[in-house]
């Protein structure tokens, strides 16, 4: 009776290993490409040397100074900055934090999409299609343009906006339960309204730089991302990953349907609400640092699920690697394809997402049937 077990498990583990190995390779290549290329060009070897510079890694104070910021370091009397190579400074000050931000945005969006798909029992769900990203983006623009003094609260504003948008979408879609199509339609409605309001707010901006900044936001861009963005998203990423993984069994049980979940003793409404809150937190914090990057939360869970199955422990672990792979490679592509001009990464993921959506529709004919 146990002789069947290893075979089946090996298959699952094998594709998981393959997924992780492929994802890590993509992340590594994207990271080196991102650190080497740019207006200050360096060879891949130089980039690698800068990334592994002993001057940084041997001195925790230097490392923490990058991570926690100059102001924090000064306030807590860190050791003085060591003199570092120019390449090291460029890599560590400008290029590495952008890669790290992309990585965490990838994790957050993939987790958010996976959780939304389980909570709404809807394979089309993702923070972007459910209007959560748009709501978060609108809240950010309001803060950015109308109350710039509240800048540090941007992630929280994004989460509040995302929550409001999700509640409205659910209310629109609700008709004694929801269907995938009604939820997506609700998302389209809220997305359209939030989009119009976003554009409207542009006209209230007094400063042209604020407006440019805001414009990049609405397409989703990592241009100019530095350690501040890393610090902004890192805590939320950690919370998302910990909560997401520890809730994986609950997500699995939700997939058995509301009645069965209740029969198994789950407080279904409370669980749904809390899990949606985690998904909104993940999406809101990535919108706060990268703007409205679309479709990552749709594509990644689908691809990972087709490789490792729908059990959430495996699915989320897969997303932990595949999310960063998609996001870092898309951002490297966006930054380097038309160099010196940088395309916002949201345009790349939008193109990918459109094609992927088409593929989903042709592949699964039952999608969209009531």
Interface ranges with other proteins (CB under 8 A): 1, 4-5, 8, 246-247, 249-250, 252-253, 255-257, 259-260, 262-267, 309-311
What does the DSSP 8-state code read for residue 92? I
For the CB of residue 242, give the shortest distance to other proteins in the complex, in Å. 11
What does the DSSP 8-state code read for residue 226? -
> Is the C-alpha dihedral spanning 277, 355, 172, 366 positive or negative?
negative
For the CB of residue 94, give the shortest distance to other proteins in the complex, in Å. 41
Specify the residue, 112 or 250, whose C-beta has the smaller distance to other proteins: 250
**b/e per residue, 331-367, with b = 16+ CB within 10 A?**
bbbbbbeeeeebbbbbbbbbebbeebbeebeeeeeee
- Token pair listed for 232: 């902004």
- Token pair listed for 33: 């490409």
Specify the residue, 7 or 208, whose C-beta has the smaller distance to other proteins: 7
> Is the C-alpha dihedral spanning 132, 138, 141, 143 positive or negative?
negative
Asked if residue 295 lies in contact with residue 350, where contact means CB atoms within 8 angstroms, the answer is yes
For the CB of residue 264, give the shortest distance to other proteins in the complex, in Å. 4
Specify the residue, 216 or 276, whose C-beta has the smaller distance to other proteins: 276
Number of H helices, E strands in the chain: 18, 0
Specify the residue, 148 or 257, whose C-beta has the smaller distance to other proteins: 257
Specify the residue, 95 or 312, whose C-beta has the smaller distance to other proteins: 312
d(CA 200, CA 202): 5
For the CB of residue 252, give the shortest distance to other proteins in the complex, in Å. 7
For the CB of residue 247, give the shortest distance to other proteins in the complex, in Å. 8
For the CB of residue 118, give the shortest distance to other proteins in the complex, in Å. 10
What is the Cα 218 distance to its own chain's centre?
Answer: 15
Specify the residue, 223 or 310, whose C-beta has the smaller distance to other proteins: 310
Q: Nearest CA to 156 among 235, 223, 246, 72?
A: 235
Instruction: Give residue for tokens 């990049």.
Output: 216
For the CB of residue 259, give the shortest distance to other proteins in the complex, in Å. 6
Specify the residue, 132 or 247, whose C-beta has the smaller distance to other proteins: 247
């Amino acid at each position: 009776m146990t002789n069947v077990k290893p075979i089946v498990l090996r298959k699952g583990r094998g594709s998981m290993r393959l997924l992780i190995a492929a994802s890590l390779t993509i992340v590594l290549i994207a990271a080196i490409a991102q650190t080497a290329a740019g207006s200050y060009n360096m060879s891949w070897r130089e980039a690698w040397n800068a990334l592994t510079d002993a001057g940084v890694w041997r001195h925790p104070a230097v490392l923490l100074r990058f991570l926690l910021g100059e102001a924090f370091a000064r306030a807590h009397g860190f050791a003085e900055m060591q003199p570092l190579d120019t390449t090291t400074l460029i890599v560590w000050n400008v290029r590495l934090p952008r890669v790290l931000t992309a990585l965490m945005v990838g994790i957050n969006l993939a987790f958010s999409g996976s959780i939304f798909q389980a909570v709404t029992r809807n394979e089309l769900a993702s923070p972007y299609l459910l209007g959560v990203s748009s709501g978060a983006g609108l809240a950010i623009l309001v803060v950015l343009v109308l109350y710039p003094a509240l800048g540090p609260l941007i992630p929280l504003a994004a989460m509040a906006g995302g929550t409001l948008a999700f509640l409205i979408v659910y209310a629109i879609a609700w008709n004694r339960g929801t269907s995938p199509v009604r939820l997506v339609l609700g998302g389209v409605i809220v997305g359209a309204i939030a989009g119009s309001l976003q554009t409207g707010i542009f006209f209230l901006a007094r400063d042209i730089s604020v407006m440019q900044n805001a414009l990049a936001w609405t397409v989703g861009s990592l241009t100019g991302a530095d350690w501040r963005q890393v610090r902004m998203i890192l805590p939320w990423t950690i919370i998302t990953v910990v909560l997401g993984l520890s809730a994986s069994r609950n997500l699995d049980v939700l997939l058995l349907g509301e009645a069965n979940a209740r029969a198994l003793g789950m407080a279904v409404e409370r669980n749904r609400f809390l899990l949606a809150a985690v998904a909104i937190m993940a999406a809101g914090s990535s919108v706060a640092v990268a703007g409205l990057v679309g479709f990552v939360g749709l594509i990644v869970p689908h691809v990972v699920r087709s490789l490792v199955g729908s059990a959430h422990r495996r699915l989320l672990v897969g997303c932990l690697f595949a999310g960063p792979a998609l996001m870092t490679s898309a951002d490297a592509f966006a930054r380097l394809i038309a160099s010196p001009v940088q395309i916002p990464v949201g345009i790349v993921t939008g193109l990918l997402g459109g094609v992927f959506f088409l593929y989903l529709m042709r592949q699964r004919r039952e999608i969209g049937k009531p």
